[in-house]
């Protein structure tokens, strides 16, 4: 009777899990020294999509298993998959191991609890609503003073669904393992046999200024070094040089290796490297950065903090020319025109605008530093990865545009609009314009600015805020300079009715900004939430119109309190409706690894992943990686101007090149980590990997067709 009830309960649990669209792990297998099971990062898999399924092993205290290169002794864990036809399992993602010494031997091992993720790709014709059984035969060696070979046969039931979601229990855990796993980072690595010492120098990227304490090289080959020998670290600001004891491949009498691959692990993280024969410097400090924008020296090569401050100021100046800021330029122009012939008010406008820019820049910078200190992988423009923020900005832009169109007025009565246009846009308006300009500019990183921000976020908070202050001063400088130069102001005609026409005409870029933000919101939250935002926009516009009616009635001495109350309720309702859509929406499913997305005539973008880059490099194909986001206007302009033409597509085809897109529209810690590896905290970022290996090349942030074609031809040569 008890057995029958247990079977029925198990059947009920299985049915409930599958109806809920959740992956259901098989029983945990205890092979004696290890408990093993399969866990999925997501609750299901889409047809043609990819999900990471991790082997989870809980090892009893004092015992250990082995990394892909076990070291002096041992055997790496192996997984043999049984999958349906058309399904594929990718390479195992190996976390960074620990060193385990046993007498004269040194092994690379895992202790305690370990997760080894594997990408599983579904067949394109997998049927939504079905459930697939994944089976894995796992073989491993577990050791203490003695070693015991063990195995486990594991299973996982994985539903095929239209829109997978993160598994609430295992999704964050597997995601963290993937984020911390060693990946390529554009590091330059060379080695040389110098007598009885093998010198390995690694520089560039995330090693610049990083904490080198405990730096260690884990080779993929078991024969290139003597594992048990000490690794001596020689630090430098650009990286490090390790002195290693050469292994059999170097001293066994055969041909010396032409490359040496493995993982360089430090306190700051771990990265994959492939070293080639070369002349290491006396110290890693002597090696230059990998080919990239020279501005990416991030102020370090140009004088540390002084260089970073200069780059930040220049980047702030250029930021005024970026597409992100164009809508707010109309607000600046309308505000400045109103005081063109009043030097005192013009200067006040300039100073208050400066205050708005500086305070908002520092507020965003402070929030960014706090969030990063809490462990979140975020970068510049992080607030625009929130659908709630995007929805609020879209409504705000709409209300600003309606105000500029004369639907309602702020700070002046309707009856004085025509005759007192010059009185509008006082100190409060100038501060608001400066703050809004910064918020709208957040999606962009201008040339020079990217390197300065990358430097800032590796420094103490005081230094970081100083760099952001320089950026703010550069951004505000043109408007402030014009406000303080009487000769430029006098070029404008005298205030009059033309100013009201100008202001209403300049409202249309703001309408465009509101529509653009609504489009970004749709990319983040899907069509249902977009419908709610559009309805909220109509409701907000109705409230703005009612407020204008109330202003007219009060100007005519007829009251207007009822209209004002209804207007406020309408705007409040619009905010609530947009917020509910943003909070409840499920983001549309992004293209899975290997899925293609059109990017122009004949050019197809594939979804980026570190594993995809590694696989394509192994095939010897040139790669362009586009780190982008829907809320990055510069990214969208570059895509249309430089990446959508038939000539670009022909160049890619001729060189057998691949175009990968890393979409950062929604938060993604793996993309954030990849950006950090290139000393970047925002998008756009364009990285070209040559077909023959070597350091990747970073392209400028403003692209042209010719520049892209030249880079691909060079990478494919």
Tell me what the mean pLDDT of segment 280-289 comes to. Answer: 47
pLDDT number for residue 419 = 33
- Indicate if the pLDDT at residue 135 is higher than 50: yes
Q: How does pLDDT run across 309-332, given as a tens digit for each residue?
A: 888 888 778 777 765 665 665 556
Taking Cα atoms as reference points, which of 131, 110, 145 lies closest to residue 36? 110
Q: Which residue has the higher pLDDT, 559 or 181?
A: 181
Give the lowest-confidence range in 312-316, 353-357, 370-374. 370-374
Domain range list for the chain: 20-169, 184-290, 305-584, 596-715
- Indicate if the pLDDT at residue 89 is higher than 90: yes
pLDDT number for residue 94 = 96
Q: Which residue has the higher pLDDT, 142 or 675?
A: 142
pLDDT number for residue 189 = 92
pLDDT number for residue 421 = 34
Tell me the pLDDT band of 263, cut-offs 50, 70 and 90: very high
- Indicate if the pLDDT at residue 52 is higher than 60: yes
Tell me what the mean pLDDT of segment 539-543 comes to. Answer: 88
Give the lowest-confidence range in 61-75, 503-517, 590-604. 590-604
Reduced to 3 states, what is the DSSP secondary structure of residue 231? Answer: coil
- Indicate if the pLDDT at residue 422 is higher than 70: no
CB 696 within 8 A of CB 688: yes
Tell me the pLDDT band of 375, cut-offs 50, 70 and 90: very low
DSSP single-letter state for residue 285: G
pLDDT number for residue 332 = 60
CA distance 685 to 664: 11
CB 634 within 8 A of CB 443: yes
pLDDT number for residue 29 = 93
CATH topology match: 20-169 vs 596-715:
no
CA distance 42 to 158: 9
DSSP structure string for 374-389 = TT----TTGGGG-HHH
Q: Which residue has the higher pLDDT, 449 or 509?
A: 509
Tell me the pLDDT band of 114, cut-offs 50, 70 and 90: very high
Q: Dihedral, CA atoms, 157, 159, 163, 168, nearest 10 degrees?
A: -40
pLDDT number for residue 202 = 92
Q: Which residue has the higher pLDDT, 559 or 128?
A: 128
* % pLDDT > 70, the chain: 75
Give the lowest-confidence range in 32-46, 281-295, 359-373. 281-295
- Indicate if the pLDDT at residue 554 is higher than 50: yes
184-290 — its CATH code?
Answer: 2.60.40
Tell me the pLDDT band of 445, cut-offs 50, 70 and 90: low
DSSP single-letter state for residue 260: E
- Indicate if the pLDDT at residue 376 is higher than 50: no
At the top level of CATH, the class of 596-715 is: alpha beta
Taking Cα atoms as reference points, which of 469, 441, 443, 446 lies closest to residue 456? 469
Tell me the pLDDT band of 489, cut-offs 50, 70 and 90: low
User: Beta partners for 350?
Assistant: none
CB 632 within 8 A of CB 626: no
pLDDT number for residue 191 = 93
Tell me what the mean pLDDT of segment 367-395 comes to. Answer: 65
User: Which region, left, alpha or beta, applies to residue 186 given φ > 0 means left and ψ of -120 to 50 means alpha?
Assistant: left
Name the fold adopted by 20-169: Immunoglobulin-like (2.60.40)
Q: Which residue has the higher pLDDT, 419 or 407?
A: 407
- Indicate if the pLDDT at residue 289 is higher than 70: no
pLDDT number for residue 411 = 46
Tell me the pLDDT band of 12, cut-offs 50, 70 and 90: very low
- Indicate if the pLDDT at residue 288 is higher than 50: no
pLDDT number for residue 306 = 78
Chain mean pLDDT for the chain: 78
Q: How does pLDDT run across 458-467, given as a tens digit for each residue?
A: 567 787 788 8
Tell me the pLDDT band of 120, cut-offs 50, 70 and 90: very high
- Indicate if the pLDDT at residue 361 is higher than 50: yes
Tell me the pLDDT band of 342, cut-offs 50, 70 and 90: low
Cα angle for residues 357, 363, 366 (degrees, 5° grid): 135
Q: If you search the block for the tokens 């990227």, which residue do you land on? A: 205
Highest mean pLDDT among 79-83, 145-149, 320-324 belongs to 79-83
CB 356 within 8 A of CB 431: yes
Computed from CA positions of residues 202, 206, 212, 213, in that sequence, does the dihedral angle turn out positive or negative?
negative
- Indicate if the pLDDT at residue 217 is higher than 90: yes
CB 476 within 8 A of CB 317: no
- Indicate if the pLDDT at residue 609 is higher than 80: yes
CA distance 111 to 417: 74
Taking Cα atoms as reference points, which of 112, 69, 22, 58 lies closest to residue 225? 69
The secondary structure of 103-127, three-state, reads CCEEEEEECCEEEEEEEEECCCCCC
- Indicate if the pLDDT at residue 446 is higher than 90: no
Tell me the pLDDT band of 194, cut-offs 50, 70 and 90: confident
Give the lowest-confidence range in 10-14, 105-109, 163-167, 224-228. 10-14
pTM of the entire structure? 0.42
Reduced to 3 states, what is the DSSP secondary structure of residue 392? Answer: helix
- Indicate if the pLDDT at residue 424 is higher than 90: no
pLDDT number for residue 350 = 79
Give the lowest-confidence range in 15-24, 92-101, 691-700. 15-24
Highest mean pLDDT among 275-279, 370-374, 497-501, 508-512 belongs to 275-279
Highest mean pLDDT among 99-103, 113-117, 381-385, 654-658 belongs to 113-117
pLDDT number for residue 430 = 74
CA distance 410 to 568: 14
């Amino acid at each position: 009777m008890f057995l029958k009830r247990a079977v029925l309960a198990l059947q009920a649990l299985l049915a409930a899990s599958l109806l809920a669209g959740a992956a259901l792990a098989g029983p945990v297998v205890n092979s004696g020294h290890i408990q093993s099971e399969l866990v999925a990062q997501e609750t299901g898999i889409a047809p043609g999509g990819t999900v990471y399924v991790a082997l989870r092993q809980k090892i009893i205290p004092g015992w250990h298993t082995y990394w892909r290169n076990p070291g002096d002794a041992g055997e790496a864990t192996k997984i043999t998959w049984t999958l349906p036809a058309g399904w594929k399992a990718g390479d195992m993602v190996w976390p960074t191991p620990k060193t385990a010494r046993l007498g004269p031997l040194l092994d690379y091992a895992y202790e305690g609890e370990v997760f080894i993720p594997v990408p599983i790709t579904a067949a394109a014709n997998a049927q939504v609503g079905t459930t697939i059984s994944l089976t894995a035969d796992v073989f491993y060696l577990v050791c203490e003073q003695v070693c015991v070979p063990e195995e486990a046969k594991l299973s996982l039931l994985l539903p095929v669904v239209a829109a997978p979601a993160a598994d609430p229990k295992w999704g964050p855990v597997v995601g963290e393992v993937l984020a911390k796993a060693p990946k390529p980072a554009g590091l330059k690595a060379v080695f040389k046999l110098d007598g009885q010492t093998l010198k390995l120098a690694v520089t560039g990227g995330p090693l610049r200024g990083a904490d080198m304490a405990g730096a260690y090289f884990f080779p993929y080959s078991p024969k290139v070094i003597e594992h048990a020998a000490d690794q001596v670290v020689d630090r430098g600001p650009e990286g490090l040089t390790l002195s290693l004891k050469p292994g059999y491949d170097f001293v066994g009498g055969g041909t010396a290796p032409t490359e040496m691959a493995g993982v360089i692990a430090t306190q700051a993280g771990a990265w994959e490297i492939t070293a080639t024969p070369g002349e290491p410097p006396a110290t890693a400090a002597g090696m230059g950065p990998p080919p990239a924008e020279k501005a990416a020296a991030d102020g370090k090569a140009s004088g540390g903090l002084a260089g970073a401050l200069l780059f930040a100021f220049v980047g702030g100046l250029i930021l005024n020319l970026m597409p992100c800021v164009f809508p707010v330029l109309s607000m600046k122009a309308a505000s400045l025109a109103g005081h063109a012939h009043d030097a005192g008010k013009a200067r006040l406008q300039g100073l208050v605008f400066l205050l708005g820019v500086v305070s908002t820049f520092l507020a965003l910078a402070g929030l960014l530093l706090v969030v990063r200190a809490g462990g979140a992988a975020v970068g510049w423009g992080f607030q625009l990865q929130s659908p709630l923020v995007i929805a609020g900005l879209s409504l705000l832009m709409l209300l600003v545009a309606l105000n500029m169109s004369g639907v309602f007025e702020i700070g002046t009565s309707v009856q004085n609009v025509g005759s007192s246009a010059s009185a509008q846009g006082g100190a409060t308006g100038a501060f608001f314009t400066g703050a809004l300009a910064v918020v709208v500019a957040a999606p962009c990183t201008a040339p020079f600015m990217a390197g300065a921000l990358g430097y800032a976020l590796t420094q103490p908070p005081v230094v970081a805020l100083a760099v952001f202050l320089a950026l703010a001063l550069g951004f505000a400088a043109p408007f402030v300079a014009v406000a303080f130069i009487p000769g430029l102001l006098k070029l404008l005609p005298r205030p009059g009715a033309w100013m009201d026409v100008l202001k209403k005409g300049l409202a249309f870029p703001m309408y465009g900004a509101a529509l653009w933000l609504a489009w970004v919101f749709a990319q983040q939250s899907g069509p249902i939430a977009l419908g709610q935002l559009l309805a909220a926009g109509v409701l907000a516009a109705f409230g703005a119109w009612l407020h204008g009616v109330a202003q007219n009635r009060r100007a005519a001495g007829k009251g207007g309190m009822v209209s004002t109350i209804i207007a406020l309720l309408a705007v409040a309702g619009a905010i609530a409706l947009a917020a509910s859509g943003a909070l409840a929406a499920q983001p549309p499913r992004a293209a899975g690894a290997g899925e293609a997305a059109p990017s122009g005539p004949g050019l197809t973008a594939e979804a980026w992943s570190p594993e995809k880059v590694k696989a394509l490099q192994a095939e010897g194909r040139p790669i362009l990686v586009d780190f982008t986001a829907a809320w990055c206007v510069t990214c969208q302009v570059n895509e249309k101007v430089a990446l959508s033409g038939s000539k670009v597509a022909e160049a890619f085809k001729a060189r057998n090149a691949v175009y990968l897109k890393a979409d950062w529209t929604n938060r993604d810690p793996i993309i954030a980590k990849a950006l950090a590896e290139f000393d970047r905290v925002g998008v756009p970022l364009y990285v070209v990997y040559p077909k023959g290996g070597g350091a990747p090349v970073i392209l400028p942030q403003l692209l042209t067709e010719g520049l892209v074609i030249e880079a691909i031809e060079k990478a494919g040569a």
